[in-house]
Amino acid sequence: MFLWSIALLILSKLGFYRRRTLVLGVIDAELDVKASRIRFCVAVANELGSSEIGQWRAYMSAREKSCGAVVFRKNSELEYLLLHYGAGHWDYVKGQVEPNETEKDTVVRELKEETSIEDAHFFEGFREEIGYFYRRGGKTILKKVVFFLLEAKKSEVRLSYEHVGYEWLTFHKAMERLTFSNARRVLTKAQGFLKAQGIEH
């Protein structure tokens, strides 16, 4: 159902969905999910011409990849670092992968640039992906974000120009503060991962 929803969203944006004819055309599309390429077929309610297929391919080629981190510290309770972005939402440290960077390279760089935190270590075994669409410059971009889990050894934060505030929050308060549902799902998985490791307080 998730893939069909994505397919219908894309088709409606391109103007393919509402047609009088019901001749089924099939187009192969690819999505990056869970670090593997999943091929699926979308039934289109029309027979597409070559120009329309070209539009489809151009639409699907608008992709970006970012990496970020769920950063926590050990206090009387575990507390998670959330950043208040200038656009108004609350989210994690994250940014686009630059050329020749590994995913973890990106996380380390973004953490330093956005918070000044350098003393932090990765919890191996945690790697979560999310995907979503957003609009930029009149184009719809398919964005993939990979999140890692890091423990910060210091609490002091110096924000970059991208942010207007930050807070260290317990799990339940962080769940209330996060703006987006996919970010809340990532936090729930991070909390469960730490609990499985015996780290709850």
User: By three-state DSSP, how is residue 60 classified?
Assistant: helix
What is the pLDDT at residue 60? Answer: 54
**Element of type H or E holding 110:** helix 103-115
- Which position has the token pair 């992906």? 129
Whole-angstrom distance, CA of residue 128 vs CA of residue 68: 10
What is the pLDDT at residue 76? Answer: 86
Phi-psi region of 138 (alpha: psi -120 to 50; beta: other; left: phi over 0): left
Phi then psi dihedrals of residue 48, to 5 deg: -85, 140
Q: Residues of CATH 3.90.79.10 domain(s) within the chain?
A: 63-196
First to last CA, the chain: 38
Whole-angstrom distance, CA of residue 148 vs CA of residue 159: 20
The pLDDT tens digits along the chain (201 residues) read 444 445 545 545 444 433 333 333 333 333 334 333 333 334 443 444 556 556 555 555 578 999 999 999 998 899 999 999 999 999 999 999 999 999 999 999 999 999 999 999 999 999 999 999 888 888 889 999 999 999 999 889 999 999 999 999 999 999 999 999 999 999 999 999 999 999 876
| Joined tokens for residue 71 | 């950063």
Nearest to 15 by CA among 52, 43, 50, 51: 52
Whole-model pTM: value is 0.71
State the DSSP code for 84.
E
- Which position has the token pair 């009149």? 138
Of the CA atoms within 13 Å of residue 138, those in its CB half-sphere come to 0
What is the pLDDT at residue 201? Answer: 64
What is the pLDDT at residue 137? Answer: 84
Relative to beta strand 128-136, strand 90-91 is: unpaired
Topology adopted by domain 63-196: Nucleoside Triphosphate Pyrophosphohydrolase (3.90.79)
Going by C-beta distance under 8 Å and a sequence separation of 6 or more, which residues neighbour residue 150? Answer: 69, 70, 71, 72, 107, 111, 120, 121, 122, 123
What is the pLDDT at residue 55? Answer: 59
Whole-angstrom distance, CA of residue 95 vs CA of residue 85: 12
Nearest to 32 by CA among 99, 97, 87: 97
Whole-angstrom distance, CA of residue 176 vs CA of residue 160: 24
What is the pLDDT at residue 26? Answer: 33
| Contact (Cβ atoms closer than 8 angstroms) between residue 181 and residue 172 | no
What is the pLDDT at residue 16? Answer: 42
